[in-house]
Amino acid sequence: MEGFDVVVVGGGHAGCEAALASARMGCSTLLVTLSLEKISLMPCNPAVGGVGKGQLTREIDALGGEQGRNTDRSCIQMKMLNTSKGPAVQALRAQADKKLYEDNMKRALAAQQDLKVLEGRVASLIVSRETIGGVVLSDGSSITASAVVLACGTFLNGKIVVGDQRFPAGRMGELPATELSANLTGFGIELARFQSATPPRVDARTIDTSRMTLESGDADPQTFSLLSKGHELEQLPCYLTYTTEKTHEVVRDHLHHSPIKTGSISGKGPRYCPSIDRKVMNFPDRDRHPVFVEPEGLHTSEMYLQGLTTSMPVWVQEKIINSTPGLEHARLMRPGYAVEYDYAVPSQLEPTLQSRILKNLFLAGQINGTSGYEEAAAQGLVAGINAGCSILGRDPLVLKRSEAYIGVLIDDLVTKGVDEPYRMFTSRAEYRLLLRHDNAHTRLSPIGHRLGLVPREILCLTESTEKSVHRLIELLSTTRVAPSPSSDEFFLAHTSSPIKETQTLLQLLKRPEIRLADLLHEFLPERSESPDTLNSAEIQVKYDGYIRRQLKQVERASALEEASIPTGFRYADVPGLTIEAREKLTRLQPRTLGQASRIAGVTPADVSIISIYLRR
């Protein structure tokens, strides 16, 4: 086969973004994947976004990735979460039509110039002088490439467990990739083992939703992507029910069948997403656990049971389901299962996601020890961009922690490594008030545009919204309201105290109970700003003090972030470091003092010792 600039291995969420990014940058790209029928398949809940994750998807869109757009096109329910809380934790969450999501992604790949797709299994890497030269397929054919992105998900030596059955598989019904793990280990890449599990699916026609709480989406749903023009698909509701004491009794009575107890699964799973077996074991006093019943698409009756993850035998799963209100007669369509797989220890990566061991080999997605479509897509995008940059001789893209959740994600992975499948939470971002849903495009679209991934149209739209926000804030700061009977009436109607002296609209907007839309409606009724402009202006005014404080923190930390540590620096030569710090720093080889300071066990005193040593 002909040679390519970039070969991407894996057509999952990471691989699709990587392939699209590298091709959009003008590099000839090949995406090799095990099955063309399973491109960007969602093996777990077909839901994208949520708190922390939604910000990632928004950032992917701002940088010119596909996930946001594809989710909007396939969306059957959209909700802005945490609207009653602060802007740092507000995020979009979408329920997608699983099949449409795959079809739409396939369409995007097919429409992309410079991108070819091939069904095949990559068995090994072609490497010469510690530099990647391409891949070898399981049929023995070679494909040369100047850069390779590995995005193999849960397929490396994958093993599925359901009850006492344990068999090789990457996902249910799909064969694993067995040769590649040994090949990677042979090059000195360290692998470890994690596991993930998915709940059973039931037939919508056999559930009683009248016994559940209706969970509707937003009446006026937003989109992840600035390129999307609203939602075209019918929007469907989700439902909420709860397990009962009877459910817990069934679980307890059959725990001896649970892989947790039998030990048939050894890889570590995500703590934040425990199985029902573990919840019953760990929280014996809880009398119920929530179960969200969510549709998988417009043309399927499969309903996902979020909260009932288990890999117990199928007959036990049925008992668990049928003991839950509204699911008494539910018919199982797909059993839940767990999958155990190899991942590559991510501290072996540069912040560009390039391997420190093999030049021009990039790794992205679940293979790096993460879990989730958003985390995978974010890494895929960065890996694809950096593979492209290395081909084109451009500076690589490394996003800072103060710039993007994607920066936080990658910095965490490469600096600290992982001890359980990594998922994004807002609490991981120390500057989360700066990394909001509403300002993702302002933060990142100029970068995406420079890379050739974001069209001029989006950049202009972003810049014009930004200008409108500034103009509006300026107007608020110069428009004054004097005390009067009508202003008294306005404030009392909004449970706010009437003003005693003239104040600007900006001062009034700082009151938590006063909303910008109401102020404008009352005092500047001729204004007609877009909802995005209103939202951003309101956040910037109300949270001005906190935002300034975080910006100061970023400035203070920048000295550490910019102080680089030479490659191969010998910590053994630095007197005064603790033994733990010396061991971890030697192993993890941070690139900057900022990275060093985030390694668990490295104290501020250790960081100053290195800093002084480096300045000598």
Binding residues for ligand FAD (CB under 6 A): 9-15, 32-35, 38, 43-44, 121-122, 151-155, 171, 177, 180, 196-198, 273, 339, 365-366, 371-373, 376, 423
DSSP 47-87: EEE-TTHHHHHHHHHHTT-SHHHHHHHTEEEEEEE-TTS-G
Q: By C-beta, is 109 or 151 nearer to ligand FAD? A: 151
DSSP line for 239-269: EEEE--HHHHHHHHHTGGGSHHHH----SB-
Name the residue nearer to ligand FAD (CB basis): 226 or 377.
Answer: 377
93: three-class secondary structure by DSSP: strand
- Cα separation, 471 vs 182, in Å, equals 59
Residue 603, both tokens: 């104290």
For strands 159-162 and 165-168, give the pairing: antiparallel
| Contact predicate 242/325, CB 8 Å | yes
**Measured from the CB of residue 14, what is the shortest distance to ligand FAD in angstroms?**
4
Element (DSSP H or E) covering residue 347: none
Nearer to ligand FAD, 15 or 590 (CB): 15
CB of 280 to ligand FAD, least distance (A): 18
Query: Which residue, 74 or 487, is less far from ligand FAD as judged by CB?
Result: 74
Indicate the residue among 153 and 388 with the shorter CB distance to ligand FAD.
153
* Element containing residue 222 per DSSP (H, E): none
323: tokens are 């003991």
Provide the minimum distance between the beta carbon of 526 and ligand FAD in the complex, in angstroms, as a whole number.
47
- Tell me the CA end-to-end span of the chain in Å, nearest whole number: 54
Minimal distance in Å, beta carbon 123 to ligand FAD?
Answer: 7
Shortest reach from residue 16's CB to ligand FAD, in Å: 7
Quick check: 569 and 587 in contact, CB under 8 A? no
CA–CA gap between residue 569 and residue 319 (Å, rounded) = 58
Residue with tokens 């040593």: 613
Nearer to ligand FAD, 116 or 470 (CB): 116
Residue 424: count of CB within 10 angstroms of its CB = 25
Task: Please name the residues in contact with 271: beta carbons below 8 A apart, sequence gap of 6 or more.
Answer: 420
Q: Toward ligand FAD, which CB reaches closer, 11 or 417? A: 11
Output the smallest distance, CB 333 to ligand FAD, in A: 15
Question: Shortest gap between Cβ of 174 and ligand FAD (angstroms)?
Answer: 7
Least gap, CB of 165 to ligand FAD (angstroms): 14
Written as six digits, the tokens of 541 are 């005014």
- Least distance to ligand FAD from the beta carbon of 339, Å? 5
Question: What DSSP designation does 571 have?
Answer: G
User: Which CB, 67 or 445, lies closer to ligand FAD?
Assistant: 67
DSSP E strand stretches across 321-437: 332-334, 337-344, 361-363
- For residues 33 and 117, the answer to whether their CB atoms sit within 8 Å is yes
Tokens of residue 243, six digits: 């397990």
**What does residue 217 show for φ and ψ, rounded to 5 degrees?**
-85, -175
User: Rounded to the nearest 10 degrees, what angle do helices 440-450 and 53-62 cross at?
Assistant: 40
Rounded CA-CA distance 514/334 in Å is 49
Tell me how far, at minimum, the Cβ of 88 lies from ligand FAD, in Å.
21
Reported as type and span, the H/E element at residue 286 is none
DSSP lists the bridge partners of residue 144 as 134
Other Cβ atoms less than 10 A from the Cβ of 474: the count is 11
Which residue, 367 or 519, is less far from ligand FAD as judged by CB?
367
Beta bridge partners of 306: 292
Of residues 173 and 531, the one with the C-beta less far from ligand FAD:
173
Q: Taking the complex as a whole, how short is the minimal distance between the CB of residue 508 and ligand FAD, in angstroms?
A: 42
Name which of 157 and 550 has its Cβ closer to ligand FAD: 157
Q: Which is nearer to ligand FAD, 307 or 590 (CB)?
A: 307
Residue 147 or 180 with smaller CB distance to ligand FAD? 180
Q: Taking every pair of C-alpha atoms in the chain, what is the biggest distance, in angstroms?
A: 85
- Min dist. Cβ of residue 210 to ligand FAD (A): 28
Instruction: Work out how close the CB of 248 gets to ligand FAD at its nearest, in angstroms, rounded to a whole number.
Output: 21
